Amino acid sequence: MSLAGGGAVAIWHDIAPEGRAEFYAWHGEQHIPERAGVSGFLRGRRYVAVQGAPEFINLYETASTAVSSGADYLQRLNQPTPRAIATVKHFRDVARSLCEVAFAHCEGEGGLIATFRYAVAAVR
């Protein structure tokens, strides 16, 4: 799958069992459409792990890395809806990354993605 733009917001997480149904509903009905409505956001997707943890990665493709520091995105990020607040409290083991797309090449749009998470020692 080729990414649609020059930037991406990637969020890995698990979800507590009691919040699972609300997460699926909120993410599909409200969150992805809301993010896709932000200027410079091109596409949002949710992937479920085939193996390993955490279970989910939410990937939001952006025109560039500058989109993630733009006023439109920051306003929505800093003013979550009541439904978002109620849902996000069930997130576990969250890691969020703002990414620059260095290379993307593919024919078509696939349904699988591979990601690698690794720990890096803090630089002092």
- CATH code for the domain in which residue 80 is found: 3.30.70.100
Q: What is the pLDDT of residue 121?
A: 83
Q: What is the pLDDT of residue 104?
A: 77
In a domain, 75, yes or no: yes
DSSP state of 67: G
In a domain, 112, yes or no: no
In a domain, 69, yes or no: yes
Count up the domains in the chain and report the number. 1
DSSP state of 30: I
Q: What is the pLDDT of residue 115?
A: 79
In a domain, 119, yes or no: no
In a domain, 121, yes or no: no
In a domain, 57, yes or no: yes
Q: What is the pLDDT of residue 110?
A: 66
Q: What is the pLDDT of residue 23?
A: 97
Phi, psi of 96 (to 5 degrees): -125, 135
Separation of alpha carbons 80 and 48, rounded Å: 24
In a domain, 2, yes or no: no
pLDDT means per 10 residues, the chain with 124 residues, are 85 97 96 94 93 92 94 92 96 93 74 76 80
Handedness of CA 42, 46, 47, 53 (dihedral sign): positive
pTM: 0.86
What's the distance, CA 24 to chain centroid?
14
Separation of alpha carbons 3 and 60, rounded Å: 10
In a domain, 47, yes or no: yes
The boundaries of the domain holding residue 73 are: 7-99
